[in-house]
Amino acid sequence: MAAVRVGVIGVGMIGQDHIRRLTRVLAGSEVMAVTDSDLARAKSVADSLPAARMHTTGQDLIRDSSVDAVVVASWGASHEEYVLACIAAGKPVFCEKPLATTQEACLRILEAEVAFGRRLVQVGFMRRYDPAYVALKQTLSSGAIGAPLMMHCAHRNPSVPAHYTSDMAITDTTVHEIDVVRWLLDDEIMATSVLTPRRNRRAGELRDPLFVLLEMASGALVDVEVSVNIDYGYDIRGEVVGESGVATLAESNVITVKRSGSFMGHVPVDWRERFIAAYDAEFRAWLDSVEAGVPTGPSTWDGYAAAAVCDAALAALREGRRQLVALQKRPSFYD
Amino acid sequence: MAAVRVGVIGVGMIGQDHIRRLTRVLAGSEVMAVTDSDLARAKSVADSLPAARMHTTGQDLIRDSSVDAVVVASWGASHEEYVLACIAAGKPVFCEKPLATTQEACLRILEAEVAFGRRLVQVGFMRRYDPAYVALKQTLSSGAIGAPLMMHCAHRNPSVPAHYTSDMAITDTTVHEIDVVRWLLDDEIMATSVLTPRRNRRAGELRDPLFVLLEMASGALVDVEVSVNIDYGYDIRGEVVGESGVATLAESNVITVKRSGSFMGHVPVDWRERFIAAYDAEFRAWLDSVEAGVPTGPSTWDGYAAAAVCDAALAALREGRRQLVALQKRPSFYD
Amino acid sequence: MAAVRVGVIGVGMIGQDHIRRLTRVLAGSEVMAVTDSDLARAKSVADSLPAARMHTTGQDLIRDSSVDAVVVASWGASHEEYVLACIAAGKPVFCEKPLATTQEACLRILEAEVAFGRRLVQVGFMRRYDPAYVALKQTLSSGAIGAPLMMHCAHRNPSVPAHYTSDMAITDTTVHEIDVVRWLLDDEIMATSVLTPRRNRRAGELRDPLFVLLEMASGALVDVEVSVNIDYGYDIRGEVVGESGVATLAESNVITVKRSGSFMGHVPVDWRERFIAAYDAEFRAWLDSVEAGVPTGPSTWDGYAAAAVCDAALAALREGRRQLVALQKRPSFYD
Amino acid sequence: MAAVRVGVIGVGMIGQDHIRRLTRVLAGSEVMAVTDSDLARAKSVADSLPAARMHTTGQDLIRDSSVDAVVVASWGASHEEYVLACIAAGKPVFCEKPLATTQEACLRILEAEVAFGRRLVQVGFMRRYDPAYVALKQTLSSGAIGAPLMMHCAHRNPSVPAHYTSDMAITDTTVHEIDVVRWLLDDEIMATSVLTPRRNRRAGELRDPLFVLLEMASGALVDVEVSVNIDYGYDIRGEVVGESGVATLAESNVITVKRSGSFMGHVPVDWRERFIAAYDAEFRAWLDSVEAGVPTGPSTWDGYAAAAVCDAALAALREGRRQLVALQKRPSFYD
């Protein structure tokens, strides 16, 4: 096979991590071009790579004939423009979440992709590549616990940076559960409510924790505890309740230590420790799909649905009551 | 010490199990008298015990001077009468749940006990004596995880008998969580909602599962999954989410077996297996408290609060919306 | 049923704990008589009990017609005399371990009991009543893991008192595994070796840890780690390796706590915490067997076999090489 | 960085898996040449790769100036010749275990490498790259459990192929524990014994299980259960017993399922599932070390020590008694 020749738009922390992944971790790709709103940074990154040139705009990079496929890791507001340009150029694009910052922008991308006639877009919902979630989905598919009726989730961060807002608890944090439960349960979210339990004094002015309810089209009910100042670690919990059994994400510790009156297992300190292998697997799958010409990962539709549910959840948080999620009809294109 | 001389009102399955506990399991008591609405059954039980006489009414039994303390295990509608009679007689009484079948009846008992001037009543909420719940409470009290903000519960039965109704999912099943979270969090329930997820096809006409939300006076939020046809076992889950940690009921298996590709631990088959030791500990504590003259277990107030919350939850289930719980002011008597 | 009327010989720490068990924990017995080499202590204990008289000798107590059954909890060297007297008097006797301090003494008891014509003696190996070991035995009997080929054990104490010797690591510590593996595997120990790994600096002059190998008649091999200064807790481990699976004692924690980067479960601090329920169950079974007239617990033969294996293990430790265990032929009486 | 240009000697199952790893999994290498005793197979593999030529002998491949580094995955008896040729050519070589089939051959390699003046050889002991073993080593190094006194290991295979012999239980199976305990405990093995417990009827004529004792220079004692027909799965257990605590390999399941009366976690079916990530990490580290010019993995000394211990264990198995391991003095070169 020939290496997939990749261009990277946006070389901040996330973009550079993807470049490291493409050049130092995974076989099968070559980074041919980079760009960034900070051109000095783009130049510095390009210089560090054996084959990469710098472009002054994302549009130029997308047009570059040495670029087969594009990674969009720039700030969210620019995603729509770059993804649309990739579709126009007929080039596969991996777009970090969010696909776009509004439902309307997501729908414009969706229309463009449908008009183009085949899938080009993968959205960066990496949890679908985590071995534990994959095993959970296999168990559900096997019928081992019957039809899913409920799912209990918890998304816990030890702390968040100063610029983190209560809205980000929905759009940056809960959004991972929003995508992963749609995928696990193979179901759409039709309504959402957000409850605000007793406030954590460690959380300052933030509404923390939140308790988000997601009502699926099938009637299945998902609850998500969102605790972003819980100190003890980065802990992602999930339990699907079926008709005749339950399936639960296990602890991720690799050893157990007994000392001082306790047995103990390690809890991850951050998302990187917990999901680094999922990011690698996500890019492995994307490169393979580019090579094969058949996209398989989270689609434009998934990006749109996540945006629509986040909008509803933000309204639910603001207004203190249940909100319906009004999705467009799904084009058969995405079945 | 002298043995506590006990009279038992109601010798159906539960009453007979308590008699077995008093005569065959625990030191320190003697069953002196029994009665039942079915006098033949009462006679048969009395005849099987070395020291017990039969009474034709509960009132007679309560008046019997050879009876120091009374166990009420008759059907719920009769509890009020017998507990009031015990208070009138100044005799300690262990009353199986519910304390009475209406809030109003509970309040009448409460007024009588306050008027009498000291506690005489213990209500049969046995989970407070389960070693796992006791350890959970100790962890909360120790401050090890900070103030409690949320609690996630699940109450799962493999199946329920044919006469079980959706209302019983509140009054017979969720009532255990209603009491135990009040005790664990040292807090009152101020409002409740009941959500009805996708129905379990194993459940016939029942609304099963339910998802019950309990809002505590402190702002802490409790959620309770109630699944009564889940087939795999009797599984009581609980996790308290604090400001800096969480505390969770562990699995109760005593051995692990590896075979056929899995490691496996046993899940209890029913409440008896899971809580038999808690029932024993509950009676041990009650006998000790009778001997010491200082009641320590779940009180009339606890019986009343549980009834009030159950009423609100039944209304929430019926009307499909959140209900406030309007408790009377708690007499300082119960502090 | 009438209460079993018990006499207790030896009211030191263990004897008093058994008296507490008989009078404050378990239904169905009455302590009628006590004695002790320290008569003042015996009198003080007798005075604290409603029905107990003091005897000046164990022989007097055994002859007392108000005593149906005897508990021997005096020091080891006196066991033989009292157990023989009980057999002579035809009274059931619960004898704390060791049954006697030499194999020869055990054999004298065995001959007396066989001559008497039915079992009267139960030896205090309480692990056979621990729910985890009971579940292990049930799993073995069920055939779920095939025939047992090996068993890995660990016996860990946080620390030992100053008078503890390396010999006691065999006779007071490993003796529990010696009995329990004979019972679990339904097999006799035919040879033993004792290895002395690197010494724990926390152990002072003691040979600690030890690694004891027990070769069963079936060929199954048992290894026992004996660590008596391991600080972190009292931890009893056991894993049976069968032909097609393994079965393992689970952790005994009842809750799990997550804080400070770890999830944690409690390890027992001492044998009391770990096995208190087994002691209660052991006495429950003994009282029931006395009432039924059919002894079921660890027998004189078990006491003898344990003594013989301990002797061999002491020789193995002293001489640094494997020792055969030469058991007498087992009388069919004990089948 | 430039890609490491690799030649692969031996393209049977293992060699082809390493080629897959180098070309389809890991960034940073290019396979430039292959050879095999089966030239047709070599040609077929070369043809499937974009840049690889076929050589008719390993010596030719090693001399090829387009080859920077060599992977030896041919049959064991040929290892010595190829590794010596790599040293003569001054090229880094990754040699699958065993380094060579006799202690003497290992020593010849050792002498050649010492004479050459810097390390070139890495031996394929991949467990050192398993995250669980790495965490175990970190815990030991941290002092969290004190000095290591014992280690309990189990190496369990569900079944073995028909050509598997009792000797292979040492040289192919236990050899992994032999290396990993040397590394974990940072200690040499000075003596070994092999016990033969009751035979597994599933094992036919094989001596299965074995129980291997390894005595470390520090006095620490390691025991290894080797069960190669245990049916239930591929299960690698390890527990280090320190002076004040223990550290244990955790289960590797990623989800837990509750159904049919049990909670269950998956046990790996084979070494591939359990250690595939360790093989990837091993090659990642090797490529990085080739690029950096500083070998860090298991050395020629480690290959030699493993061979010496295997020889002693084979003698111990054959003769039924403890064998000393007589290691040469370790050249400071390998400190």
Residue B233 sits at the vertex; the CA angle it makes with B229 and B234, to the nearest 5 degrees, is 85
Could you give the C-alpha distances from D32 to A44, B113, D26, D46, in angstroms and in order? 32, 91, 15, 9
**Cβ contact, residue pair C260, A235, below 8 Å:** no
Helical (H) or strand (E) element with D214: strand D210-216
- Residue D75 CA, distance from chain mean position: 15
Which of D198, D229, D241 lies at the smallest CB-CB distance from C220? D198
Helical (H) or strand (E) element with B158: none
CA distance B171 to B167: 6
Amino acid at A38: D
What's the token pair of residue C230? Answer: 């391991």
Distance from CA of D229 to the nearest CA of C (A): 7
- Same domain (yes/no): C214, C329: yes
At residue D21 the predicted structure's pLDDT band, cuts being 50, 70 and 90, is: very high
| Substitution target from C196, C241, C248, C321 for chain D, most D beta carbons within 10 A | C241
- Same domain (yes/no): D181, D247: yes
Residues D150-167: tens digit of each pLDDT: 999 999 999 999 999 999
- Same domain (yes/no): A77, A225: no
Of A278, A288, A282, A303, the C-alpha closest to A121 is A303
- D70 and D94 Cβ atoms separated by less than 8 Å: yes
**Cβ contact, residue pair D256, A266, below 8 Å:** no
Which of B200, B221, B229 lies at the smallest CB-CB distance from A211? B221
What's the token pair of residue C30? Answer: 């009455």
Which of A258, A261, A267 lies at the smallest CB-CB distance from C258? A267
Does residue C252 sit within a domain?
yes
Picking from C82, C102, C125, the residue at the C-terminal end of a domain is: C125
pLDDT score for A294: 84
Q: Position of tokens 């003994």?
A: C286
Residues of chain B with C-beta less than 8 angstroms from the C-beta of C249: 254-255
Helical (H) or strand (E) element with A324: strand A323-324
Residues of chain B with C-beta less than 8 angstroms from the C-beta of D231: 259-260
Residues A88-114: tens digit of each pLDDT: 999 999 999 999 999 999 999 999 999
**Cβ contact, residue pair B232, D261, below 8 Å:** yes
Residues of chain D with C-beta less than 8 angstroms from the C-beta of C209: 149-150, 241
- Sort strands D255-259 and B255-259 into parallel, antiparallel or unpaired: unpaired
CA distance A165 to A156: 15
Q: Which residue has the higher pLDDT, D190 or D1?
A: D190
All residues at 6 or more sequence positions from B41 whose CB lies less than 8 Å from its CB, including other chains = B11, B12
pLDDT score for A136: 98
Which of B202, B225, B232 lies at the smallest CB-CB distance from A150? B225
**Cβ contact, residue pair D262, B267, below 8 Å:** yes
Helical (H) or strand (E) element with C279: helix C271-292
- Same domain (yes/no): A223, A79: no
Residues of chain D with C-beta less than 8 angstroms from the C-beta of A277: 277
Residues of chain C with C-beta less than 8 angstroms from the C-beta of A262: 232-233, 264-267
CA distance A208 to A172: 14
**Cβ contact, residue pair B229, A216, below 8 Å:** no
CA distance B180 to B186: 9
Residues B15-35: tens digit of each pLDDT: 999 999 999 999 999 999 999
- C120 and C86 Cβ atoms separated by less than 8 Å: yes
Of D132, B144, B136, A198, the C-alpha closest to C262 is B144
What's the token pair of residue D96? Answer: 């699958």
3-state SS, residue A147? coil
CA distance A121 to A113: 8
- Same domain (yes/no): B146, B221: yes
ipTM of the complex as predicted: 0.96
- Same domain (yes/no): A112, A138: no
Residues D295-333: tens digit of each pLDDT: 889 999 999 999 999 999 999 999 999 999 999 999 999
Query: For the stretch A29-38, what's the b/e string if a residue is b when 16 or more beta carbons lie within 10 angstroms of its beta carbon?
Result: bbbbbbbbee
Mean pLDDT computed over B258-264: 98
Q: Is the pLDDT of residue B1 over 60?
A: no
- Same domain (yes/no): D270, D317: yes
Residues D202-219: tens digit of each pLDDT: 999 899 999 999 999 999
**Closest chain D residue to C218, measured at CA:** D198
Which of A22, A247, A254 lies at the smallest CB-CB distance from D250? A254
3-state SS, residue D122? strand
Q: Is the pLDDT of residue D169 over 70?
A: yes
Amino acid at B305: A
What's the token pair of residue B40? Answer: 């033949």
- Same domain (yes/no): B289, B188: no
CATH number assigned to the domain comprising residue A175 = 3.30.360.10
pLDDT score for D189: 98
**What are chain D's partners, defined as 3 or more CB pairs within 8 angstroms?**
A, B, C
- Residue A109 CA, distance from chain mean position: 17
- D60 and D54 Cβ atoms separated by less than 8 Å: no
* pTM more than 0.80: yes
CA distance A94 to A72: 6
Residues D33-59: tens digit of each pLDDT: 999 999 999 999 999 999 999 999 999
Q: Is the pLDDT of residue B299 over 60?
A: yes
Could you give the C-alpha distances from A170 to A198, A323, B123, in angstroms and in order? 18, 14, 43
Tally helices (H) and strands (E) across chain A.
10, 15
A104, with CB counted inside 10 A (0-12, 13-18, 19+), is exposed
3-state SS, residue B147? coil
Residues D64-81: tens digit of each pLDDT: 999 999 999 999 999 999
Number of domains comprising chain A? 2
| Substitution target from D190, D193, D198 for chain C, most C beta carbons within 10 A | D198
Picking from C77, C94, C125, the residue at the C-terminal end of a domain is: C125
**Closest chain D residue to B270, measured at CA:** D261
Residues of chain C with C-beta less than 8 angstroms from the C-beta of B254: 131-132, 135, 249-250, 252
- D287 and D28 Cβ atoms separated by less than 8 Å: yes
* Percent of chain B residues topping a pLDDT of 70: 100
**Cβ contact, residue pair A145, D257, below 8 Å:** yes
Chain A residues with CB within 8 Å of chain B CB? 146-150, 152, 154, 195, 197-202, 209, 211, 213, 216, 218-221, 223, 225, 227, 229-232, 241, 243-246
Could you give the C-alpha distances from D300 to B28, C114, D122, D196, in angstroms and in order? 73, 66, 7, 31
CATH number assigned to the domain comprising residue B42 = 3.40.50.720
DSSP D125-163: -GGGG-HHHHHHHHHHHHTTT-SEEEEEEEEE-S---TT
Could you give the C-alpha distances from B181 to A21, A118, B175, B310, in angstroms and in order? 47, 54, 10, 14
- Same domain (yes/no): D27, D113: yes
CA distance D284 to D305: 24
Average pLDDT, whole number, for chain D?
97
Mean pLDDT computed over B253-276: 98
- Tell me the angle at which helices D13-20 and D39-47 cross, rounded to the nearest 10 degrees: 10
- Same domain (yes/no): B173, B228: yes
Distance from CA of B243 to the nearest CA of C (A): 10
Mean pLDDT computed over D227-236: 98
Q: Is the pLDDT of residue D1 over 70?
A: no
Q: In what order do the strands lie in the sheet with B53-54?
A: B53-54, B29-35, B4-9, B69-72, B93-95, B121-123
- Residue C309 CA, distance from chain mean position: 14
- For chain C, 335 residues long, the average pLDDT of each consecutive 10-residue run is 90 97 96 98 97 97 98 97 98 97 97 97 98 98 98 98 96 98 98 98 95 98 98 98 98 98 98 97 97 93 98 98 96 93
Task: Enumerate the H helices of chain B as residue ranges.
Answer: 13-20, 39-47, 58-63, 79-89, 103-116, 131-142, 166-168, 175-185, 271-292, 300-319
Residues of chain D with C-beta less than 8 angstroms from the C-beta of B258: 232-233, 235, 267
CA distance A11 to A18: 9
Which of D232, D251, D258 lies at the smallest CB-CB distance from B232? D258
DSSP B228-253: S--SS--EEEEEEEESSEEEEEPP--
Q: Is the pLDDT of residue A1 over 80?
A: no
Range of D321's domain? 128-275+306-334
What's the token pair of residue D312? Answer: 């002693």
CA distance B140 to A335: 49
**Cβ contact, residue pair B135, C27, below 8 Å:** no
**What are chain C's partners, defined as 3 or more CB pairs within 8 angstroms?**
A, B, D
Is the C-alpha dihedral spanning B156, B159, B161, B166 positive or negative? positive
- Same domain (yes/no): A182, A318: yes
Does residue C285 sit within a domain?
no
- Same domain (yes/no): A77, A156: no
Mean pLDDT computed over B103-127: 98
pLDDT score for C294: 84
Is the C-alpha dihedral spanning D157, D163, D166, D168 positive or negative? negative
- Tell me the angle at which helices C300-319 and C175-185 cross, rounded to the nearest 10 degrees: 120
Q: Position of tokens 């004897």?
A: C15
Average pLDDT, whole number, for chain B?
97
Residues of chain D with C-beta less than 8 angstroms from the C-beta of A31: none
A216, with CB counted inside 10 A (0-12, 13-18, 19+), is buried
Q: Is the pLDDT of residue A2 over 90?
A: no
- Sort strands B189-195 and B245-249 into parallel, antiparallel or unpaired: unpaired
Picking from C125, C158, C187, the residue at the C-terminal end of a domain is: C125
Distance from CA of A26 to the nearest CA of D (A): 5
All residues at 6 or more sequence positions from D221 whose CB lies less than 8 Å from its CB, including other chains = C195, C197, C198, C211, D149, D150, D151, D213, D214, D215
- B227 and B191 Cβ atoms separated by less than 8 Å: no
